[in-house]
C-alpha cells in the first residue's frame, strides 16, 4: 500500500484528485467529511440530490449521547445544543398503562431529539463554511479501479463527464446507492430479514403528548409518539406492508392512534393538523465485509435496521468515526492496520445494534403469524423489563448507545 501523500485537491479540466472521495451527503458522508477536515485530510463529497432536497428530507430524530457528543466536540453542534430536546428516559405503554425507563438512573446517560434534516443542514453549512468541495445534483455515478492504488469516482455534472482520482473512497450513499453494488458479488455477503409490516408516519402540528417518547404495545399493533419540537409531534403506527397511504384519511389515522395509545389516569392524545404522512418499510440488512479494496462502506450503504430502536443515523455516525480515525492513522503515521481492521471493528458494534433493533421490533409489534401465547409472552417480557432493574438496565444501556468502538 502506498504511504501517506501530501494533502491536495487539484482540478484540471474534468478531472480532480483528492485523498478521500466521499459518495453521498447524508449523515455518514457529511460527518466523515467534517472529521477528515479537522484531521487535515482532503476530501470531495458528491451527492446526487439537490441541497434543498437533502436539507428537507424527513427522517430520523433521535441521537444517542455518544453521537451528539461527537458533534459538539467537533464544533458542529452549536445550533443543536440550543434546539435539541434532551430526554433522560422513555415511556413504555402496555395493557393501557404507562411505565418509564429512566436512563439517567439506570445507566447515567441521555438521548436527544434533533431532526436529521437539521443535522444535515448544520453539516452542509459547516462544510461550505470552510470552502470545502461538496457537489450536488451529480448524475451517473460509477466507481472504478477499486482494487488498485488510485480508485476513481466518475459522474456527470451539468451534463459534463467528471472523474475524481482518490487514495480511498467512502461509500456513504445509503441503502439505494451505487457503492455497495460496485463490489463484485463473490466478495461480499448479505444478511437480511424482512418484517411482515411497515410504519405509517405522520408529522402533526400538535405539542408532544408526553415530555418523552411513548412506545406502545397494543393488540391492534405498535404505535410510537415522538416529537420534533415543543409544537410539532411525530407519530408512527404499525400498518400492513402493502398499505396504501391514500386509504388513510387524517381521521382514520387519529382514530387508530387514539385506540392504540388509550388508557391510564388523565391520558389524552395531543392532536393537531397533519402536515406530512408517509409509509416506511421495515428491514434488517447487513453486509460483510464493509470494505472492498480501497472502498469503505459506511452507514445505510452497509446496513439497515428497523427504526424501532432509533439506531440507523447513530450507526452511520459510529462507522465514520472508526473510518476517520483509521484514515488519520494512515495519513499521519503511515499506519494501515486500522484501515485493515475497519470492517471488523464496525461489525462488532453493528451486529449488537442489529440484535437490539430486531429485539425491540419483535417485542413491541403485532405479528399476524403469532398466536395468543406469543402475545402473552411479549407482555410478560415487557412486564419483566419494566419491573426488574437488571432487565431495564440492559434495555437502557442499548437504547442510549453502546460505546462507539467496542474495544
Ligand atoms: P442516507 O441518509 O441515506 O444518505 C445517503 C446519501 O447518499 C445520496 N446518494 C447518492 N449520492 C451520490 N451518488 C449516488 N449514486 C447516490 N445514491 C444516493 C442520497 O441522496 C443521500 O443523501 O444514509 P446515511 O448517511 O448512511 O444515514 C443513515 C440515516 O439516514 C438512516 O439510518 C436513518 O434515517 C434511520 N432512521 C433513524 N435513525 C436514527 O438513528 N434515529 C432515528 O430516530 C431514526 N428514525 C430512521 C428513523 C429512518 C426512517 N426512515 C424514513 C427510513 C425514522 C424513519 C421513519
Ligand atoms: C423519530 O423521532 O423519528 C424516532 C424516534 C425513535 C424511534 C424512531 C423514530 O425509535
Confidence band of 298 (pLDDT split at 50, 70, 90): very high
Confidence band of 8 (pLDDT split at 50, 70, 90): very low
pTM of the model: 0.96
Question: What confidence tens digit (pLDDT) does each residue in 255-289 have?
Answer: 999 999 999 989 999 999 999 999 999 999 999 99
pLDDT at 355: 98
Instruction: Give me the chain's average pLDDT, please.
Output: 95
pLDDT at 5: 45
Residues facing 89 on adjacent strands = 102
Best substitution site from 217, 236, 358, 395 to test ligand 2's pocket, by max atoms within 8 Å of Cβ? 236
Best substitution site from 58, 61, 199 to test ligand 2's pocket, by max atoms within 8 Å of Cβ? 61
Show Cβ contacts of residue 265 under 8 Å, excluding neighbours closer than 6 positions. Answer: none
Q: How far is the CA of 191 from the centre of ligand 1 (A)?
A: 19
Q: How far is the CA of 95 from the centre of ligand 1 (A)?
A: 34
Ligand 1 neighbourhood includes 21 CB (under 6 angstroms): no
pLDDT at 14: 76
Chain-centroid distance of CA 108 in Å reads 23
Q: What letter would DSSP give residue 146?
A: T
User: Cβ(156)–Cβ(140) under 8 Å?
Assistant: yes
Question: What confidence tens digit (pLDDT) does each residue in 209-243 have?
Answer: 999 999 999 999 999 999 999 999 999 999 999 99
Q: Is the pLDDT of residue 405 over 80?
A: no
Question: What confidence tens digit (pLDDT) does each residue in 45-96 have?
Answer: 999 999 999 999 999 899 999 999 999 999 999 999 999 999 999 999 999 9
Q: How far is the CA of 313 from the centre of ligand 1 (A)?
A: 7
Query: In 3-state terms, the chain is what percent helix, strand and coil (to 5)?
Result: 40, 30, 35
Q: Is the pLDDT of residue 146 over 80?
A: yes
pLDDT at 2: 41
Question: What confidence tens digit (pLDDT) does each residue in 153-207 have?
Answer: 999 999 999 999 999 999 999 999 999 999 999 999 999 999 999 999 999 999 9
Backbone phi, then psi, for 81, in 5-degree steps?
-65, -30
Residues facing 164 on adjacent strands = 16, 153
Confidence band of 407 (pLDDT split at 50, 70, 90): low
Our CA angle for 229, 231, 235, nearest 5°, is 75
More confident residue, 183 or 407: 183
Amino acid at each position: 500500500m502506498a504511504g501517506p501523500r501530501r494533502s491536495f485537491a487539484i482540478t484540471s479540466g474534468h478531472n480532480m484528485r483528492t485523498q478521500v472521495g466521499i459518495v453521498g451527503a447524508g449523515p455518514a458522508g457529511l460527518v466523515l467529511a467534517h472529521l477528515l477536515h479537522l484531521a487535515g485530510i482532503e476530501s470531495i463529497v458528491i451527492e446526487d440530490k439537490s441541497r434543498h432536497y437533502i436539507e428537507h428530507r424527513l427522517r430520523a430524530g433521535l441521537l444517542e449521547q455518544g453521537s451528539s457528543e461527537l458533534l459538539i466536540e467537533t464544533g458542529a453542534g452549536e445550533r443543536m445544543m440550543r434546539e435539541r430536546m434532551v430526554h433522560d428516559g422513555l415511556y413504555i405503554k402496555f395493557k393501557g398503562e404507562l411505565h418509564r425507563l429512566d436512563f439517567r438512573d439506570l445507566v447515567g446517560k441521555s438521548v436527544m431529539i434533533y431532526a436529521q434534516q437539521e443535522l444535515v443542514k448544520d453539516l452542509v453549512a459547516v462544510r461550505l463554511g470552510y470552502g470545502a468541495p461538496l457537489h450536488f445534483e451529480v448524475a451517473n455515478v460509477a466507481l472504478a479501479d477499486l482494487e488498485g492504488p488510485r480508485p476513481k469516482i466518475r459522474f456527470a455534472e451539468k451534463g459534463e463527464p467528471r472523474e475524481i482520482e482518490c487514495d480511498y473512497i467512502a461509500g456513504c450513499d445509503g441503502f439505494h446507492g451505487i457503492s455497495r453494488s460496485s463490489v463484485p458479488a463473490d466478495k461480499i455477503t448479505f444478511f437480511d430479514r424482512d418484517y411482515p409490516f411497515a410504519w405509517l408516519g405522520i408529522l402533526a402540528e400538535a405539542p408532544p403528548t408526553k415530555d418523552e417518547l411513548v412506545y406502545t404495545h397494543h393488540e391492534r399493533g405498535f404505535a410510537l409518539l415522538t416529537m420534533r419540537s415543543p409544537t410539532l409531534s411525530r407519530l408512527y403506527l404499525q400498518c400492513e406492508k402493502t398499505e396504501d397511504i391514500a386509504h388513510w384519511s387524517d381521521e382514520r389515522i387519529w382514530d387508530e392512534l387514539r385506540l392504540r395509545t388509550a388508557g391510564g389516569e388523565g391520558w389524552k392524545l395531543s392532536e393537531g393538523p397533519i402536515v406530512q404522512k408517509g409509509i416506511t418499510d421495515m428491514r434488517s440488512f447487513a453486509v460483510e465485509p464493509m470494505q472492498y479494496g480501497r472502498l469503505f462502506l459506511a452507514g445505510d450503504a452497509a446496513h439497515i435496521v428497523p427504526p424501532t430502536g432509533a439506531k440507523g443515523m447513530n450507526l452511520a455516525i459510529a462507522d465514520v468515526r472508526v473510518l476517520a480515525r483509521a484514515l488519520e492513522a494512515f495519513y499521519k503515521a503511515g499506519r494501515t492496520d486500522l484501515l485493515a481492521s475497519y470492517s471488523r471493528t464496525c461489525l462488532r458494534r453493528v451486529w449488537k445494534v442489529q440484535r437490539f433493533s430486531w429485539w425491540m421490533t419483535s417485542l413491541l409489534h403485532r405479528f399476524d403469524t403469532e398466536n395468543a401465547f406469543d402475545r402473552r409472552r411479549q407482555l410478560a417480557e415487557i412486564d419483566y423489563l419494566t419491573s426488574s432493574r437488571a432487565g431495564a438496565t440492559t434495555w437502557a444501556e442499548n437504547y442510549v448507545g453502546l460505546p462507539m468502538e467496542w474495544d
